[in-house]
Copies of this chain bind each other. A is one copy, B any other.
Amino acid sequence: MATTDVLTAERILEATEEVLRRHGPAKATVVDVARALGVSHGSVYRHFRTKTALREAVTQRWLDRTSASLSGVVAGSGAPEERLRCWLAELFSAKRRKVGDDPELFATYMVLVGESSAVVDRHRADLTGQLAQIIGEGLDRGDFAAAGATPEVLARAVFDASGRFHDPAYAREWDQPGIDAEFTALVDLLIRGLRAA
């Protein structure tokens, strides 16, 4: 069976996720990953130059799963305003689901995210790119008014403004009562700011 006897980067990433889930970020060693795969740790180093590179690859995979799940909303067929609302709601709810379902695993990924700012910057660029796509369509259709700004600048502003509802630094506030009302108030304010006068 090719999936169990050829050592690929993919299989290593899978095993690393499992080890991280079991042991947490502090105690997950390269030797643990190798043991889980039944190989020597030297073999892992053939696919990832350093432990840091391995951790970054795992982090990227995790973040990319979020980006991918949102790209469906970008490609959707509704009005831009509705898709923007939906995109922000989906981002918030996806993050909230991740913390709620497995807080320890989420904490693990928060540590990894804190370590690899380049990967995070890329993820942020992905997401603001998706936002810029939606906002750009809104401008083209005349639903939104740019007021001198490009879709990219507006996307970045919307992304920053909604940080409290997707930045993991605020995760412990996401189950407080009233959070949904605060989210709605913020999104309403942003959408009114984008709308054509």
Contacts and interface: CB of A to CB of B under 8 A. Distances in A.
Interface of A: 147, 149, 153-154, 156-158, 160-164, 169, 181-182, 185-186, 188-194, 197
The quantity of this chain's copies bound in the complex is 2
Given A156-B182, A160-B164, A189 B190 contact: yes
Contacts of A154: 185, 189
Contacts of A185: 149, 153-154, 156-157
A162 B161 CA distance: 6
A156 B181 CA distance: 11
22 contacts: A147-B188, A149-B188, A153-B181, A154-B189, A156-B182, A157-B185, A157-B186, A158-B189, A160-B161, A160-B163, A161-B189, A163-B163, A163-B164, A169-B169, A189-B193, A189-B194, A192-B192, A192-B193, A192-B194, A193-B193, A193-B194, A197-B197
B160 A186 contact: yes
A154 B187 CA distance: 11
Contacts of A153: 181-182, 185
A116 B156 CA distance: 31
A164 B163 CA distance: 8
Given A156-B182, A169-B169, A182-B156, A161 B190 contact: yes
B161 A182 contact: no
Lowest 8 A-B CB distances belong to which pairs?
A: A193-B193, A161-B161, A192-B193, A189-B193, A157-B186, A157-B185, A160-B164, A157-B189
Contact of A186 (B161, B169, B197): B161
Contacts of A188: 147, 149, 157, 193
